Amino acid sequence: MNRSKIVLCILIFHSKNSFRGQMVSESQDIEQSEDQPALETIVSLAKRRGFVYPSAEIYGGFAASYDYGPLGVEIKRQIRDLWWQSMVREREDIVGIEAAIITNPRVWEASGHLDVFSDPLIDCLKCNARIRADHLEDNQCPECGAEDQFTEAREFNLMLSTQVGPVEDDSATAYLRPETAQGMFINFENVQTTTRKRLPFGIAQIGKSFRNEITTKQFIFRTREFEQMEMEFFCRPEESLEWHAYWKKERLRWYYRLGIRSENLRMRDHDAEELSHYSSGTSDIEVRYRWGWGELEGIAHRGDYDLSQHSAHSGKKLTYFDPDTNEHIVPHVIEPAAGVDRILLTLLIDAYHEETTANGETRTVLKLAPEVAPAEVAILPLSRNEKLVPTAKKIHDLIRPYFRSQYDDAQSIGRRYRRQDEIGTPLAVTVDFDTLDDDAVTIRDRDTMEQIRVPVNKINESITNRLDELTPHIPEMDEINV
Ligand code: GAP
């Protein structure tokens, strides 16, 4: 890795926060890498520490399929919960649903996916590699380097099909949903009737989607099975542009809340030729990766495309009756659509830091915001001494109901600090022999490595305060410039 030589001399007393106090033996002079890690570094960390494993590894794996380990599932759960919190629970105007993954195939006829949900596919005439034509760089095969030696592009449908029921014929063909969005459109009337929501209102869903992707590179960035968090916001047509602008800002704010560095985020409007078949305008929130800017979330203006299509195909009127104006209208839709797996990958990359301590050791730290760290606090007895362990476990019992925590007593305390740094745990509580006398513990800060001593009866308060200080500031809407 290209390392820039920034020496951070961490001051003993930070003016910003209250995390002051007793200093400990860990070296405070650190040299920090500014660059993003290589993807292989993240893949290896993910496997070594239990974030993401290759799927079916004991059988040699399965292309572009991954399993999430104990730490990965904790982060995914946090991502989903934070999204649900901000999109559904904190709002009056959005409700949630969970629709079936396998549903009536007519849904996909109406939505247009069976006809036009495809990517242009070409074959390399030299090595037979199958490539997405729109991913080709300099007309060169990414596998063998051959130039200009490709078949004509043909459209390759991305829908994954399956057979339902005991008879395997065409009438039994069904599809795994390629987006969660259609679940909201086909339930528009149900939700509207049962909730009596008036425009504007949204329907949100989190769930798995499936696409037979041609290119599945960059680890969990693009896979065939992935999880989406989508919300369809129904509004009056004349207000739709204003709502599109609103959701662009609101969604960007949410990524700041996750702690993704603002210099690695940008908003980009699609050119007309990039637009999906349903969209009359899309803006992407993009992330700067080592391989270039990539989409993290799309915010599409779907117009009345989906409701009109389902209305035409099902014969059911999917309109909204406005009691103020006494008219039936087909609402327009703004759709923020994000991917859980891609956000997880982005968080790992964005938070990854390597530092060289004054004694020449490399310290790997995931500087994750507390809300997306797999654990907020680790409880570490100094050793497995028979007097320390029961005290440490009792202290863990005090903490456990309030914070995502881990108990770890294996190996030396130094190695355990490093392990917690590497998985992004913001705080470590050390229980030592003094604890037995003074009923106090040491809390160590992941980023500064500073330590303070706090009484056990104030431990939850001290942890709360410090986690609050580490939580990113969320800008107000008018501070967001897109
Ligand atoms: N309903 C609109 C829709 O599905 P999309 O841009 O195709 O739009 C939305 O997908 C988000 O889902 C993307 O921004 C990305 O985060 C995630 N996503 C899409 N395809 C993916 C794949 N093959 N692997 C992982 N995530 C994917």
Nearest CA to ligand 1 atom 14: 297
Is the CB–ligand 1 distance for residue 305 below 6 Å?
no
Predicted local confidence at residue 22, as pLDDT: 30
Q: How far apart are CA 462 and CA 20, in angstroms?
A: 12
Give the H or E element holding residue 380: strand 377-381
Q: Please enumerate in sequence order all residues whose Cβ is within 8 A of that of 254, keeping only pairs 6 or more positions apart, or say none.
A: 82, 83, 86
Question: Token match 């599945």: residue?
Answer: 216
Q: Does ligand 1 come within 6 angstroms of the Cβ of 228?
A: yes
> Which residue's CA is the closest to the ligand 1 atom numbered 12?
339
Cβ of 227 closer than 6 Å to ligand 1, yes or no, is: no
Residue 213 CB less than 6 A away from ligand 1: yes
Atom of ligand 1 nearest to the CA of 211: 23
Please tell me the distance from the alpha carbon of residue 215 to that of residue 472, in angstroms, as a whole number: 35
- The response to whether residue 298 sits with its C-beta less than 6 Å from ligand 1 reads yes
The pLDDT assigned to 217 comes to 78
pLDDT for residue 119 = 86
- Say what the pLDDT of residue 26 is: 54
Q: Whose CA is nearest to atom 2 of ligand 1?
A: 337
Sheet strands (E) in 187-319: 201-210, 225-235, 265-269, 281-289, 292-303
Strands, DSSP E only, in 408-477? Answer: 427-431, 440-445, 451-455
pLDDT of residue 3: 31
Alpha helices in 30-69 (DSSP H): 39-49
**Which residue from 209, 306, 309, 346 has its CB within 8 A of the most atoms of ligand 1, so it is best to mutate?**
209
Residue 340 alpha carbon to ligand 1 centre in Å: 9
- C-beta 230 within 6 A of ligand 1: yes
CB of 205 sitting under 6 A from ligand 1: no
Ligand 1 binding pocket includes 223 (Cβ within 6 Å): yes
Q: Using CB atoms within 10 A of its CB, is residue 165 exposed (0-12), middle (13-18) or buried (19+)?
A: exposed
Query: Quick check: CB of 226 below 6 Å from ligand 1?
Result: yes
Residue 303 beta carbon below 6 angstroms from any ligand 1 atom: no
Tokens of 14: 């930070």
Decide whether any atom of ligand 1 lies within 6 Å of the 444 Cβ. Answer: no
**Ligand 1 site, residue 177, Cβ cutoff 6 A:** no
Dihedrals φ, ψ of 167, to 5°? -105, 125
Give pLDDT, residue 216.
74
Does the C-beta of 141 come closer than 6 Å to ligand 1?
no
Distance from the alpha carbon of residue 479 to the mean position of ligand 1, in angstroms: 27
Point out the residues of the chain with pLDDT beneath 70: 1-34
Sign of the dihedral defined by the CA atoms of residues 80, 82, 86, 89, in that order: positive
Q: Which atom of ligand 1 is nearest to the CA of 224?
A: 23
| CA–CA distance, 149 with 124 (Å, rounded to integer) | 6
Going by alpha carbons, the residue nearest to atom 22 of ligand 1 is 222
Whether residue 184 has its Cβ less than 6 Å from ligand 1: no
